[in-house]
Amino acid sequence: MDQQQDQQQDQQRRVIRILVVAQILGGVGAGATLSLGALLAAETSGSSAWSGMAATMATLGAAAAAVPLATLAQRSGRRISLSTGAVVAGLGALLAITAASLALFPLLLVALVLLGAGSATGLQARFAATDLATEETRGRSLAVVVWSTTIGAVLGPNLFEPGQAVAGVLGIPPLSGGFVFSAAAQAAAAAVYALGLRPDPLLTALRHQAAARTDDGVPPQRRRGLAILARNPRARFAVVTIAASHAAMVSLMAMTPVHLHDHGAGLAVVGLTISLHVAGMYALSPVFGWIADRAGKTEGVLCGQVLLLAALLTAWQGSGSEVWVTVSLVLLGLGWSACIVCASALLAGAVEVAERAPVQGSSDLVMNLAGATGGALAGPALVLLGYSGLGLAAAVLIVVVLAWTLVRLRQARTRMPVVA
């Protein structure tokens, strides 16, 4: 048994290394096209009014890919699922180059949807890190993979000028050059997944579970993710926490550049604020993974909800100050990180191995839809309520989840049945 555990730990360490490398490559692919998508949408459509469709279509693409990729993982393993997602994103980058060359805005929208599969792949990769992890290390394993996204996200946007040079050499529109890097990075990530995840972590975990079963080897009944969530209060709490935290983060973050610009802030201030926010989202994720493993997953969620609430209340009270808006965005990133890491680790441990892929796919679907909804509603809310009102409205959502978290902690400490 000890030998088997040592082998599993060795494989887990190798899986983490492979996922980190692939996440860096995938992050470069996403980062290289993050801002270029909006610029290219404005250029091909002929109007800056359509620039926001880049983020919208990519988010919808991530939502659309979440469940199919999870289903593929359940049937064929993480290796096939993750490499497929990276290939689809790479094809999206090539299609974006074609759309730019032909100046076809509808084709660009299709390309952005396919590029969204890269985001879905990155989200699934964080769960792949938990397949062979123990309860004591699940949070840290997941957090390391989340943290590695930072490297690619920082490197990617800095490829804008090299992309223009590459575009000149290839004879394609200047703004499409960054998509060449994206296609190459996604192809490399697909190769890393396909070659590195052998043996497959999810299939290995399923075999270990089957070998340990004591119910005459009867395989567990396969259910869809939403059906599993309907009967599992812990998993349902984790998914709602992830979705609500993401919606609150996206709604305030998306409107912050607009708010700062309208109040006279320069582009340097706007850029610094968003950069610090992104750093808050990823840089300290290993710390929150450690908290999840040492203090408890729900306790980590509580920490994240408090940080999110502090961020939103700061935005409410300090909307007139560039300094306090920046503080708010940093707290917002930290709170998001704590909630995503701890709630994702909680979700991975709330269901059996055989149920993880469909549940995680449903979680990513709900998360992306919540983010898209939050982003869509944030604009009208900014107009009607102002930045302060937007922060207060988002705070109401977090208060609900915070109250639910406190109830769960109280019930756990008094050993009462958890109310769904």
User: For position 136, which CATH number holds?
Assistant: 1.20.1250.20
Domain total of the chain: 2
pLDDT of 87 reads 96
> Is 217 domain-assigned?
no
Please report which residue ranges of 77-159 form alpha helices under DSSP H: 78-102, 105-128, 138-155
Among 155, 180, 207, residue at a domain's last position: 207
Structure confidence at residue 283 (pLDDT): 85
Q: What is the pLDDT of residue 234?
A: 92
Of 158, 173, 207, which residue sits at a domain end? 207
Residue 398 contacts residue 311 (beta carbons within 8 Å): no
Question: Does a structural domain hold residue 220?
Answer: no
188 and 279 share a domain? Answer: no
- Do 181 and 148 share a structural domain? yes
- Sign of the Cα torsion 366, 369, 374, 380 reads negative
Question: Does 188 share its domain with 252?
Answer: no
Three-state DSSP class for 258? helix
Are 286 and 338 in a shared domain? yes
pLDDT digits (tens, 9 = 90+) for 143-158: 999 898 777 766 766 6
What is the mean pLDDT of the segment spanning 75-102?
A: 95
Question: Which of 25-29, 116-120, 122-126, 390-394 has the weakest average pLDDT?
Answer: 25-29
Name the least confident of 117-126, 192-201, 266-275, 348-357: 266-275
Query: Is 219 domain-assigned?
Result: no
Statement to judge: residues 175 and 244 lie in one domain? no
Reported as a single tens digit per residue, the pLDDT across 9-26 is 889 999 999 999 999 988
C-beta separation of 321 from 268 below 8 A: no
Same domain for 249 and 361, yes or no, is yes
Same domain for 30 and 145? yes
Mean pLDDT of 275-279: 81
Same domain, yes or no: 276 and 409 = yes
pLDDT band at residue 375, thresholds of 50, 70 and 90?
A: confident
Residues 401 and 374 in one domain: yes
pLDDT tens across 30-58, in order? Answer: 766 666 777 788 788 887 667 667 777 88
Tokens of 314: 């700061």
The pLDDT score that the predictor gives to residue 213 is 62
Q: Which of 175, 207, 239 is the last residue of a domain?
A: 207
Residue 82 φ/ψ, nearest 5 degrees: -70, -40
Find tokens 């000028």 and name the residue: 161
pLDDT at 48: 66
pLDDT tens for 304-360 read 999 999 999 999 998 888 899 999 999 999 999 999 999 999 999 898 888 888 899
Residue 346 is assigned to a structural domain of this protein: yes
pLDDT surpassing 80 at residue 301: yes
At 6, is the pLDDT very low, low, confident or very high (cuts 50, 70, 90)?
low
Taking the model in full, what pTM does it have? Answer: 0.84
Residue 39's pLDDT is what?
A: 75
**Average pLDDT rounded to a whole number, residues 253-260:** 82
Beta strands in 318-396 (DSSP E): none
Mean pLDDT of the chain: 86
Residue 408's domain comprises 225-413
Instruction: Report cis status (omega within 30 of 0) of the bond before 199.
Output: yes
Q: Are residues 282 and 371 in the same domain?
A: yes
Residue 3's pLDDT is: 63
Does residue 247 belong to any structural domain of this protein? yes
Whether 170 and 92 share a structural domain: yes
**Residue 30 has what DSSP assignment?**
H
Judge if 50 and 186 occupy the same domain: yes
